């Protein structure tokens, strides 16, 4: 039997199973067995030819099958196959040249004395930390430990870019912000916290979205970029800008209990596109806002990122270039996987096709435009209108597509429960002569539910509850909690 490890983002298609025992003598046979046992994986993981989509990598042990024998890689009893979707050693030199190293004051020698006692850092390394400039993209869960620890260790200049404001739901994990900061721009809240940690650090703030139009100008001013973003468009944009400018991209991602960390640095190894040539279809992989995340996970992943930033600045150590660290925090297991440079990569390969950010359509590449086109025909209904129709006694079927643990937070009155993964095979439970309204937390998964049933051939009238169950709590039932 072959053990197949299923990452968190794909477990909704395998009935929440994280480990499967499947039979097969090759990777192809095991993948086919997976699709046979869990048909819902076919649309999510496989393309129309039955081949896993580009956003899914398959490893046997620590090796990507691309560097073995592909899908014909032979397996023996007891082998482990791991699916890794999108959600590098030696003693390398410092990125900071000697002439930029800055003298330490007596106060700084005292503040950083524990670093100075480490021969791997010492006075020389601390001077380079003082001279370094690091840009942190995103001031949420991952950006929090990045900013706090990089400030504490004495990185001279920190750039902070984020266009969002602090929300009360952020405080469970984004400990750089406090209750008094709710409603403030995240970059300003983070700057205040950094100044409390270390007033010697210079902080540059960018209260804006990183775009193809401004990315090169902003990133060019920094030595290293730490990617703490939460969407695929920004991840590919950061990667591409770093490749074009020759900067390292210290990457982190997380979802629920799972985290990933690597250093994508095209000068020394692969880039993000080498690992993930394409993102998952828009809407397939939920965000942390929809799927949740354990509060300590960003602290673990973010501090690993901070550790990689420090090594890049001072030199030495074994960098995560060409290596992906995967953590399952619930089982407390780390996996280290090899990443190889793709000679056909469109941004760092031998024949580059991406040479200008402004000419590249990131929304189209990430499926955002297509998702908008697909979402357009999905008719929405507001909480107030749904309430009016229910009060009038109209026949309406309400389908709650949320997970069981979400319904434990708050239940919707008189809703029938059908998870998205079961909709296609349970469509006979719906009456095509009655309006059906789908609900979720924010109104995103319910749109996916409508499209899923349409593709399955269901012809009845379907609606999405606009802005989800939170809108019902806001506009109809104020006693109902928002989450």
State both tokens at 75: 């397996």
Nearest CA among 154, 147, 133 for reference residue 252: 147
Q: Which residue has the tokens 């430990």?
A: 145
Residues 6+ apart with CB under 8 A from 419: 12, 401, 402, 403
Q: Which residue has the tokens 């709710």?
A: 182
Taking the chain, what is the end-to-end CA distance rounded to the nearest angstrom? 42
Length of the chain: 483
Inter-residue contact 357 to 241 (CB < 8 Å): yes
DSSP 4-15: EE--GGGGGGTT
Other CB atoms within 10 A of residue 231 CB? 13
Q: Which residue has the tokens 């809407």?
A: 283
CA–CA dist 231, 215 (Å, integer): 15
Query: Which residue numbers are catalytic?
Result: 288, 440
CA–CA dist 293, 259 (Å, integer): 10
CA torsion sign for 469, 472, 473, 474 is: positive
């Amino acid at each position: 039997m072959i053990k197949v490890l299923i990452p968190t983002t794909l477990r909704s298609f395998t009935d929440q199973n994280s480990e499967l025992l499947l039979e097969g003598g090759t990777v192809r046979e095991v993948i086919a067995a997976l699709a046979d046992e869990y048909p819902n994986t076919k649309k999510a993981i496989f393309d129309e030819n039955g081949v896993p989509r580009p956003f899914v990598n398959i490893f046997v042990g620590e090796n990507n099958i691309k560097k073995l024998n592909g899908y014909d890689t032979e397996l023996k009893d007891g082998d482990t196959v791991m699916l890794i979707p999108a959600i590098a050693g030696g003693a390398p030199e410092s990125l900071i040249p000697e002439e930029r190293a800055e003298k330490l004051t007596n106060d700084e020698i005292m503040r950083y004395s524990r670093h100075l006692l480490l021969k791997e850092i010492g006075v020389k390394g601390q001077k380079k930390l003082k001279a370094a400039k690091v840009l942190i993209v995103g001031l949420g869960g991952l950006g929090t430990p990045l900013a706090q620890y990089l400030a504490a260790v004495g990185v001279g200049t920190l750039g902070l870019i984020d266009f969002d404001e602090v929300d009360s739901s952020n405080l469970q994990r984004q400990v750089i912000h406090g209750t008094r900061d709710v409603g403030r721009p995240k970059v300003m809240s983070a700057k205040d916290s950094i100044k409390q940690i270390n007033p010697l650090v210079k902080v540059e703030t960018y209260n804006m979205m990183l775009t193809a139009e401004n990315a090169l100008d902003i990133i060019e001013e920094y030595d290293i970029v730490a990617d703490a973003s939460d969407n695929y468009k920004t991840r590919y944009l950061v990667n591409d800008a770093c490749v074009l400018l020759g900067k390292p991209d210290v990457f982190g991602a997380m979802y629920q209990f799972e985290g990933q960390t690597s250093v994508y640095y095209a000068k020394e190894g692969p880039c993000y596109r080498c690992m993930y040539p394409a993102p998952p279809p828009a809407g397939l992989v939920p965000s942390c806002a929809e799927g949740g995340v354990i509060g300590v996970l960003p602290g673990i992943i973010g501090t690993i990122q901070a550790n990689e930033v420090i090594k890049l600045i001072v030199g030495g150590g074994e960098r995560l270039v060409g290596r992906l660290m995967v953590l399952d925090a619930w089982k407390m297991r780390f996996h280290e996987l090899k990443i190889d440079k793709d000679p056909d990569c469109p941004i760092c390969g031998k024949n580059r096709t991406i040479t200008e950010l402004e000419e590249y359509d990131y929304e189209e590449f990430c499926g955002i435009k297509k998702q908008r086109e697909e979402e357009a025909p999905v008719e929405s209904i507001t909480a107030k209108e749904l309430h009016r129709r229910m009060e009038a006694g109209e026949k309406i079927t309400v389908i709650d597509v949320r997970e069981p643990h979400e319904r434990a937070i708050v239940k919707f009155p008189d809703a029938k429960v059908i998870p998205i993964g079961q909709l296609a095979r349970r469509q006979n439970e719906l009456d095509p002569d009655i309006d059906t309204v789908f609900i979720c937390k924010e109104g995103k998964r319910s749109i996916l539910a409508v499209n899923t049933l349409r593709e399955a051939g269901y012809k009845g009238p379907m609606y999405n509850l606009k802005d989800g169950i939170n809108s019902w709590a806001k506009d109809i039932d104020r006693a109902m909690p928002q989450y």
